[in-house]
Amino acid sequence: MNRRLFLSWHSVLAFAVVAGFIAWMIAGGESPGRGPGYHRGFLLATGWTTLGLFSIVITHVMRKYAHKLGISPEFRMRAPIEELERAETALNEIRRKVMGGALSARADIHRAAKLALKKHGVQKILRIQLEEGTRVGDPSWRVLALPTFPLGKMYHWMHAHLFYGIAAMVLVVLHAGFALRPGMGGYLEVLAIFVAITGFIGIYFWSTGPAKLTERERDLTTEKAFALDRNLERKVDAAFEAVDPSLHGDLKGLQSLTSDFGEQAKQVRSKIAGAGPSPTGVNDLLALLGQQNAVRSELRALRRIRMRMHAWRVVHIPAAILMLVLVAIHVYSVFAY
Amino acid sequence: MSTIPPEVYELPLFAKLNPKQKKLLEAEASLDICAAGQIFSRQGEYSERFCVILTGGASMYRKEDGETKLLGAFGQKDWFGELGALSSQPEPATLKADTNCTFIVCDQALFKQLYKNKHFKALVDGTYRRLSLAVHLRVAPLFKNLSSSQLSSLEGRLSMLEYEKGRVIAEQGATTDAVYLVRSGAISCRSSKTGRILGYYMSNSTFGEHCLTAKGTWPGNYETMAVTSVLKIPVDVLRDVFASEPDVIDDLSRRANQILAEEHGESTGLYDQVTPGKPGPSSDELEVMVGKQSVKGGEALVIDLDRCVRCNACVESCVSVHDDRVPRLSKTGNRVISKETGRPVMLATSCYNCEIPECMMACEYGAIRRDVQGLIRYVWDNCVGCQMCSSACPYGVISMTPPPTAGATEPAFKRHWFLQTIPFIGNKFAGSHPDKKKCASTPESDEKAVGALRGVESRGKAIKCDLCAGLPFEACVYNCPTQAIIRMNPERVLTGRDERTLLPKH
């Protein structure tokens, strides 16, 4: 299981938000939702916070698709390679000074390195990190120029999507007051829970699926299985050419994937043998069909694992879109009426 | 129109160039100026420029053990930079202008073409012997303690040899009779018994130190991996020259033992397996890594298979950040169990930024170079599409792509249909579907023209992972939702240790 998917400071923040509201509800004796004696401040706070959390969740999705389409703003932050190389040369000069002892204070080194990046206009591309030299012969500080990752790596956004999505679901329930009444509020609550459940399923498959797939791919990877299947298909086609066309009907039936291939092959073999001496090429063809069947069943098993890792999105995404549309209508209707 | 003054062709160095080479010189050389006190090239940095001084003068310095030494002076009609242009290795010394200088600059591609001329080669090699040999020898750890006068005394006694690719220089088991210093190219040492590669020797590295030790036999077959130029320093010459200085021979023997111990013990960690009692990689893994030469790579793109959800975001983002919309990454490659994490990982098919880049050695047109960080970069203007690099790459990470039409100012791919519909800004967006019409190679395209000038048939442009040069991230690493993809030293995967660091860790 990939536990890394769950290790994030976003989880702490999301938990704190939810815990804060629950503490408010219990300590203040507030009645959640719009039931009798409801607290307007609590209702508005849960509503607006949920909207804020949804915005973060949507931003992640938008970033993801912007990357796919190549329209992310940071994709346009390209610096000329010549300038990057000049900056690196300037950093080398600073490294030499550090090595020679002319620069020793951490703040001075950092300032000089940052200035070098700024001078060449690459401060948005690279950031400076200083590491203290630990081994004998190392400089007192190692000056590293690392990429800035301007808007954060996608796996941070993924964590944000996951944990703020869960927090939003809890807040929706608090906002609705645990009541599944018919009407917009009820539909939204049900949808929020449904989207969260599909998300849980997805995250379960994402955390366990890769290991299962890798384990399964130990002997035959998906790419190799595809190549092998194509190769066997060519060989089977050639083997069919060598067999009497009157036998094609029985043999072609074996090509469709079956779990009891061995049993069916035995039946076909005995049927053909009963008609007279074994025709040429049948044994070769049956052997090839057996191999093809084994490869295809392996390929199907691999596909099944892959499908599990991605199929949940077929439900999660439309449900989430529908929920967001309803959220927009809900917010509009609150202000309009 | 050429910027080269006509009197340049009267310089002895260029006097006997053939008409084709003269045409190349005229088309590709450039004139540059350097103010007094300015540095042409710096010790330890990569520079592949060969320069001929037209006016002014410069001095060569080398910093060793904190002390800067003046090694020599260059004047009018002298040249420098042949070592970098030949070997793509860091400069052994710093060159600083004493007065205002004007000089002709030939890039690596041009230099390699001119170096094919016998007269040019003889003059360059002669000057190398006279001016640069002592500096070059000083780069080798074996000769580090020798003084300049001691190194100079070796000059006339050394042989400068050049070998074709695939030539065996020394055979396993034979008596070691000389120390070799690689001037350009690269050499592999392979055990004839096991077939395993025991080491690689690239420019500025030495082998054959065994001749100064008690062992005295070659440990493997030493075979050239490209056209390779070496300096042969016979052990008899060393003993003869330093006959009156027994301390020098003792020191050389001591250093030779030290170098060999480091080479086979601590430096790479790969030889741990043959040392009883030390934990090392399993033989299967070693076979995969060494046999497929992964250990040559400086930095590999490693995919943690237990984390990768096969969402393809890495490939999609790679496509998005490149104008030609061709991914530089393929999610296929060697699968091994990482010694560092114990999890299965894949060394994805993406540039390893090899320490011994066979692609760079194979390229005769200077289209592949090292930048100041030591990363392998393409100079697209120089690429003629000859495919030598893609066939030389041991990992198959270089592919060919049809270039955009000459004169096309827009990226050669379609814009996404719905983005185009956005008023005012729609035409600013790039899409992800290649426009085959625009991508099709045309007779007017740049590399065809460059190829025609050099007599080569072009098959497009070579492309490989450029580490998203110029961007504030590596797209694949940046966009992975599960942190499954990372750049790291393949040795870390194999041994759990990381002793070389070429790139920053993300």
CB contact under 8 A, B377 and A92: no
Name the residue among A2, A72, A214 with its Cβ closest to that of B344.
Answer: A214
Tell me the shortest Cα–Cα distance from B377 to chain A, in angstroms.
Answer: 10
Q: How confident is the model at residue A276 (pLDDT cuts 50, 70, 90)?
A: low
Interface with B, mutate which of A4, A57, A135 (most B CBs under 10 A):
A4
C-alpha span between A330 and A188 (Å, rounded): 9
CB contact under 8 A, B306 and A221: no
Interface with A, mutate which of B379, B471, B499, B502 (most A CBs under 10 A):
B471
Per-chain mean pLDDT for chain B? 74
Q: Which residue has the higher pLDDT, B258 or B440?
A: B258
Tell me the shortest Cα–Cα distance from B316 to chain A, in angstroms.
Answer: 6
pLDDT given for residue A23 in this prediction? 92
CB contact under 8 A, B320 and A75: yes
In this structure, chain A runs to a length of 337
How large a percentage of chain B has pLDDT more than 70?
Answer: 75
Tell me the shortest Cα–Cα distance from B243 to chain A, in angstroms.
Answer: 35
CB burial of residue B497 (10 Å; 0-12, 13-18, 19+) = middle
Strand spans (E) along B45-141? 50-55, 58-64, 67-74, 79-80, 94-97, 101-106
Q: For the residues of B370-436, what is the DSSP string, one character each?
A: E-TTS-EEE-GGG-----HHHHH-TT---EEEPPPPTT--S-SEEPPHHHHTSTTTGGG---SEE-H
- On whether any CB of chain A is under 8 Å from the CB of B504, the answer is yes
The helix (H) or strand (E) run that includes residue A326 is helix A282-336
Q: How confident is the model at residue B454 (pLDDT cuts 50, 70, 90)?
A: low
CB contact under 8 A, B66 and A92: no
Tell me the shortest Cα–Cα distance from A107 to chain B, in angstroms.
Answer: 21
Q: Which residue has the higher pLDDT, A300 or B260?
A: A300
pLDDT given for residue A114 in this prediction? 93
CB contact under 8 A, B371 and A85: yes
Q: How far is CA B93 from CA A69, A224, B60, B89, in A?
A: 48, 51, 6, 12
Interface with B, mutate which of A64, A222, A223 (most B CBs under 10 A):
A64
Q: For the residues of A184-215, what is the DSSP string, one character each?
A: HHHHHHHHHHHHHHHHHHHHHHHHHHHHHHHH
How many CB atoms within 10 Å of residue A148?
A: 17
Chain B stretch 271-300, residues whose beta carbon is closer than 8 A to a beta carbon of chain A: none
Cβ–Cβ under 8 Å, residues A143 and A136: no
Residues of B whose CB is below 8 A from A67: 313, 316-317, 320, 475, 479
Residues of B whose CB is below 8 A from A158: 481-482
Residue pairs between chains A and B whose CB atoms are closer than 8 Å: 138
Residues of B whose CB is below 8 A from A65: none
pLDDT at B409 over 50: no
Q: Which of A31-35, B141-145, B219-223, B450-454 has the lowest mean pLDDT?
A: B450-454
Q: What is the pLDDT of residues B133-169, one digit of tens each?
A: 777 787 777 887 787 778 777 777 788 888 888 889 8
* Nearest residue in A to B377, CA atom: A81
pLDDT given for residue B183 in this prediction? 81
pLDDT at A222 over 50: yes
Q: How confident is the model at residue A18 (pLDDT cuts 50, 70, 90)?
A: very high
Q: Which two tokens stand for residue B334?
A: 């060697």
Mean pLDDT calculated for residue range A171-179: 84
* Nearest residue in B to A90, CA atom: B372
Per-chain mean pLDDT for chain A? 84
Q: What is the pLDDT of residues B273-301, one digit of tens each?
A: 333 333 334 434 444 444 444 445 567 88
pLDDT given for residue B266 in this prediction? 38
How large a percentage of chain B has pLDDT more than 90?
Answer: 0
Which ipTM value was assigned to this complex?
0.84
pLDDT given for residue A159 in this prediction? 93
Mean pLDDT calculated for residue range B411-440: 50
- On whether any CB of chain A is under 8 Å from the CB of B502, the answer is no
Q: Which of A18-22, A111-115, A116-120, B424-428 has the lowest mean pLDDT?
A: B424-428
Tell me the shortest Cα–Cα distance from B419 to chain A, in angstroms.
Answer: 9
* Nearest residue in A to B506, CA atom: A146
CB contact under 8 A, A146 and B484: no
pLDDT at A201 over 90: yes
Name the residue among A68, A75, A100 with its Cβ closest to that of B316.
Answer: A68
C-alpha span between A171 and A24 (Å, rounded): 12
Cβ–Cβ under 8 Å, residues A196 and A163: no
Tell me the shortest Cα–Cα distance from A77 to chain B, in angstroms.
Answer: 6
Residues of A whose CB is below 8 A from B313: 64, 67-68, 154
pLDDT given for residue B443 in this prediction? 37
Interface with B, mutate which of A8, A72, A162 (most B CBs under 10 A):
A72
CB contact under 8 A, A85 and B372: yes
Q: What is the pLDDT of residues B347-378, one digit of tens each?
A: 887 888 777 788 887 887 778 877 766 778 88
Q: Which two tokens stand for residue B247?
A: 């301390």
Please compute Rg for chain B using Cα positions: 25
Residue pointed to by tokens 């400086």: B298
* Nearest residue in B to A223, CA atom: B332
pLDDT at A108 over 60: yes
* Nearest residue in A to B343, CA atom: A211
* Nearest residue in B to A144, CA atom: B504
Residues of A whose CB is below 8 A from B332: 223
Report field, pTM of the whole predicted structure over 0.95: no
Q: What is the pLDDT of residues B40-94, one digit of tens each?
A: 777 777 777 888 888 888 888 877 666 777 777 888 888 888 877 777 667 778 8
Q: What is the DSSP letter of B332?
A: E
pLDDT given for residue A16 in this prediction? 95
Chain B stretch 377-436, residues whose beta carbon is closer than 8 A to a beta carbon of chain A: 377, 416, 419, 429-432
Nearest to B479 by CA among A163, A149, A330: A149
Exposed e or buried b per residue across A202-226, where buried means at least 16 C-beta atoms within 10 angstroms of its C-beta: bbebbbbbbbbbbebbeebbbeebe
Helix or strand or coil: residue A273?
Answer: helix
Q: How confident is the model at residue B499 (pLDDT cuts 50, 70, 90)?
A: very low
Chain B stretch 437-476, residues whose beta carbon is closer than 8 A to a beta carbon of chain A: 469-475
pLDDT given for residue B270 in this prediction? 34
* Nearest residue in B to A203, CA atom: B309
Q: How confident is the model at residue A165 (pLDDT cuts 50, 70, 90)?
A: very high
Q: What is the pLDDT of residues A133-149, one digit of tens each?
A: 776 666 788 888 888 88
Tell me the shortest Cα–Cα distance from A82 to chain B, in angstroms.
Answer: 9
pLDDT given for residue B457 in this prediction? 60
pLDDT given for residue A164 in this prediction? 95
Q: What is the pLDDT of residues B181-215, one digit of tens each?
A: 888 777 888 877 777 667 777 777 788 888 887 76
pLDDT given for residue A142 in this prediction? 85
Exposed e or buried b per residue across A62-82, where buried means at least 16 C-beta atoms within 10 angstroms of its C-beta: ebbebbbbbbbebbeeebeee
Q: How confident is the model at residue A162 (pLDDT cuts 50, 70, 90)?
A: very high
* Torsion sign, CA atoms B252, B255, B261, B266: negative
Residues of B whose CB is below 8 A from A84: 469-470
pLDDT at B311 over 70: yes
Interface with B, mutate which of A2, A81, A92 (most B CBs under 10 A):
A2
Helix axes A282-336, A222-241, angle to 10 degrees: 140
C-alpha span between B273 and B284 (Å, rounded): 11
Exposed e or buried b per residue across B225-262, where buried means at least 16 C-beta atoms within 10 angstroms of its C-beta: bbbbbbbbbbbebbeebbeeeeebbebbeebbbebbee
Which of left, alpha, beta for B180 (phi over 0: left; psi -120 to 50: alpha)?
beta
- On whether any CB of chain A is under 8 Å from the CB of B305, the answer is yes
Q: Which two tokens stand for residue A31?
A: 């009645």
Q: Give the distance from CA B382 to its chain's centroid.
A: 16
Mean pLDDT calculated for residue range A85-94: 84
Helix or strand or coil: residue B256?
Answer: helix
pLDDT given for residue A194 in this prediction? 93
Tell me the shortest Cα–Cα distance from B143 to chain A, in angstroms.
Answer: 21
Residues of A whose CB is below 8 A from B68: none
Nearest to B294 by CA among B89, B494, B498: B494
Residue type, B412: A
* Nearest residue in A to B429, CA atom: A71
Backbone angles phi, psi at A207, to 5 degrees: -85, -25
pLDDT given for residue B91 in this prediction? 75
CB contact under 8 A, A84 and B470: yes
Nearest to B495 by CA among B265, B337, B348: B337
Q: Which residue has the higher pLDDT, B282 or A89?
A: A89
Backbone angles phi, psi at B183, to 5 degrees: -90, -45
CB contact under 8 A, A2 and B306: yes
Q: Give the Cα-Cα-Cα angle A111, A114, A119 (nearest 5 degrees).
A: 120
Q: Which residue has the higher pLDDT, B262 or A260?
A: A260
Half-sphere exposure of B438 (CA within 13 A, CB side): 16
Nearest to B204 by CA among B366, B64, B373, B46: B46
Tell me the shortest Cα–Cα distance from A4 to chain B, in angstroms.
Answer: 8
Chain B stretch 310-349, residues whose beta carbon is closer than 8 A to a beta carbon of chain A: 310-311, 313, 316-317, 319-321, 332, 335, 344
Cβ–Cβ under 8 Å, residues B98 and B36: yes
CB contact under 8 A, A223 and B481: no
Q: How far is CA A197 from CA A162, B45, B188, in A?
A: 12, 57, 57
Q: How confident is the model at residue B268 (pLDDT cuts 50, 70, 90)?
A: very low
CB contact under 8 A, A125 and B482: no
pLDDT given for residue B503 in this prediction? 37
Q: Which residue has the higher pLDDT, A318 or B40?
A: A318
Mean pLDDT calculated for residue range A245-267: 72
C-alpha span between B353 and B357 (Å, rounded): 7
Q: How confident is the model at residue B413 (pLDDT cuts 50, 70, 90)?
A: very low
Residues of B whose CB is below 8 A from A85: 371-373
